[in-house]
Structure 1
Amino acid sequence: MAMLDPEDRAASGRAAEAEAAARSPREPATLLEESWRDFVWAEVWTRPCLPMRPRLIVAMASAATCGLEESQIDDFVRGALVGGHLSLAELREAALHLAVYAGWGNGGRLDRAVTRVAGELDLPPAHVPPICPEPWDAQARNDGGHAAFAKVMTFAPGPPGSPYLQAINNFVFGEMWRRPGLDEASRRWITLVGVCESAAEIPIRSHIHAAMASGNCTGEQMLEFVVQYGTHAGWPKASRINAVVQEMIGKVAKGLPWNG
């Protein structure tokens, strides 16, 4: 096995930082900053198993929920816009989706970052349609939520027998998941960050299984998600997610449900 040169590693990190953040790389001033360049940028961001669009989505969602600085969230948003990986309208949808799965406070952190970077780049406002522009029939909304749940989660929902379950059926699946402004696979990556941060057993297991069973991502990509998520959330959290991912890869391969 060939030896790795530290100078080559640092150069790779600077190149990855410049591409992902759409700005000049910054020279590290501390040991922690050096680790960003030589591990996070040089080794994680250059891995081939996850394309740049989902990697940026996971990074910005993780940055907003795991306590990264505003400038770091801005970097990922800028990289998405300048690199043409996501549009301004898609980023507005991403902020809404993150709000549902990680709380409106965290969604607001991402939304404000989008506003800052859009101003920095002097972009015109994006056309984003209202949540529900027309009057709705309650039964049609309920039925639409049931259908969207079954498609996204790959199993039929139970009856919404509490206010919490009604909100999930009517708003989360009846409105948000059905919005055309962001594709299902991109919504899936944001959802995974939110449920992983929640540490809630059922959402973690069911959403990881559904991500692969729906065809939104492969097992290899899901394993790569764990690496990307772990750089922001920490290895102890990622360790738990890694175990579930490996279990669910096996279940999906055998055609088994997440709880079977």
Structure 2
Amino acid sequence: MLTPAPQDPSPVTTHLLDFVFAEVWLRPGLTRRERRLVTLPCVAAADSEGPLREHVYAALSSGDLSIGEMRETVLHFAVYAGWPKASRFNMVVDDQWDRIHQDRGLAVPPPEPLLPLATPSDPEERLAFGERCFKDVNCLPYAPQRDNPFQGAGILNFVFGEMWLRPGLGMKERRLITVACVAFQDAPYPILSHVYAALKSKDISFDEMDELALHFAAHYGWPKGSHLNQVVAEQKQRVIQEWSEETASNS
């Protein structure tokens, strides 16, 4: 966290130190950088100002995330957790980036240029990109129809025609953020589909997904973590069965 540890003797602080930081953060299943990508969505969604500022500051000041990667994290979070919470997240990122440079006596560097975008500008080509990306990311043979604004303009044109294809974060990093986001939502299909796709694609290993569930539980709560853990167990069995069937059909 790059700040002094809290000293109060309350049970919350005691176990924050001896479990969350002395145990969970030090486990080998995920890197510290990867754990930050799980933590940031949790604290941004929890509407807790202090932890959000502290974790944004620590991720940037440590160099675990660059400012470009942090801003991509905010954008990805906005899609899966909502623009109002992401707006606050974005303001905190700007504040902490300024704070880091002020503390170091440095000028804040200019932002990276937004344009040109890495994805096509032609509407038809962009939708086609979105359809292919949707299939690749979700490990599915089909994509949504372009028949309404949510699916066509939102899912295909922007979420998969632009955001998932942006170069600022890698596929594994985007999956870590996404799984954390869908785990604190109450929509049953997205958590199932994104856990499944992360495992089926092998972007996140079975052991890494177990660690993700533990880290998520520590930062967003055990009830939601328990649900994520249950979904993980179910989707592991589904993926194992599919791999077995694929192996049999190829032999």
- TM > 0.5: yes
- Aligned residues: percent identity? 35
Question: In structure 1, what is the equivalent of residue 4 of structure 2?
Answer: 24
Aligned counterpart for 2:99 among listed residues 94, 102, 120: 120
TM-score by length of 1: 0.84
How many Å separate the matches in 1 of 2:26 and 2:88?
26
Question: In structure 2, what is the equivalent of residue 95 of structure 1?
Answer: 74
Letter of the structure 1 residue corresponding to residue 35 of structure 2? R
Question: In structure 2, what is the equivalent of residue 8 of structure 1?
Answer: none
Q: Report the CA distance shift for 1:162/1:210 in structure 2 as closer, same or farther (over 3 A).
A: same
Q: Do 2:119 and 2:161's aligned partners in 1 also have CA atoms closer than 8 Å?
A: no
Question: In structure 2, what is the equivalent of residue 205 of structure 1?
Answer: 192
Q: Report the CA distance shift for 1:131/1:212 in structure 2 as closer, same or farther (over 3 A).
A: farther
Letter of the structure 2 residue corresponding to residue 242 of structure 1? N
Question: In structure 1, what is the equivalent of residue 240 of structure 2?
Answer: 253
TM-score by length of 2: 0.87
Aligned counterpart for 2:162 among listed residues 169, 175, 189: 175
Q: Shift in Å at residue 140 of structure 1? A: 0.4
Kindly provide the CA deviation profile for residues 122-157 of structure 1, in whole angstroms up to 9, marking residues without a partner as x: 142431525859982211011010111111111131
Question: Secondary structure of the equivalent of 2:76?
Answer: helix
Q: Shift in Å at residue 250 of structure 1? A: 1.8
Question: In structure 1, what is the equivalent of residue 202 of structure 2?
Answer: 215
Question: In structure 1, what is the equivalent of residue 144 of structure 2?
Answer: 158
Q: Mean alpha-carbon deviation: is it higher for 245-254 or for 205-214? A: 245-254
Q: How many residues align?
A: 236
Q: Do 2:120 and 2:126's aligned partners in 1 also have CA atoms closer than 8 Å?
A: no
Q: Do 2:119 and 2:165's aligned partners in 1 also have CA atoms closer than 8 Å?
A: no
Question: In structure 2, what is the equivalent of residue 129 of structure 1?
Answer: 114
2:211 aligned with 1:224, yes or no?
A: yes
Q: Report the CA distance shift for 1:37/1:149 in structure 2 as closer, same or farther (over 3 A).
A: same
How many Å separate the matches in 1 of 2:68 and 2:117?
16
How many Å separate the matches in 2 of 1:134 and 1:171?
10
Q: Report the CA distance shift for 1:185/1:128 in structure 2 as closer, same or farther (over 3 A).
A: farther
Question: In structure 1, what is the equivalent of residue 25 of structure 2?
Answer: 45
* RMSD over equivalenced CA pairs, Å: 2.1
Question: In structure 2, what is the equivalent of residue 58 of structure 1?
Answer: 38
Q: Shift in Å at residue 219 of structure 1? A: 0.7
Question: Secondary structure of the equivalent of 2:143?
Answer: coil
Runs (5+) with no aligned partner, structure 2: 102-107, 244-251
Q: Shift in Å at residue 33 of structure 1? A: 2.0
Letter of the structure 2 residue corresponding to residue 160 of structure 1? R
Question: In structure 2, what is the equivalent of residue 78 of structure 1?
Answer: 57
Q: Shift in Å at residue 104 of structure 1? A: 0.7
Letter of the structure 2 residue corresponding to residue 241 of structure 1? L
How many Å separate the matches in 2 of 1:199 and 1:144?
29
RCO higher in structure (CA 8 A, sep ≥6): 2
Question: In structure 1, what is the equivalent of residue 248 of structure 2?
Answer: none
Letter of the structure 2 residue corresponding to residue 114 of structure 1? V
2:117 aligned with 1:138, yes or no?
A: no
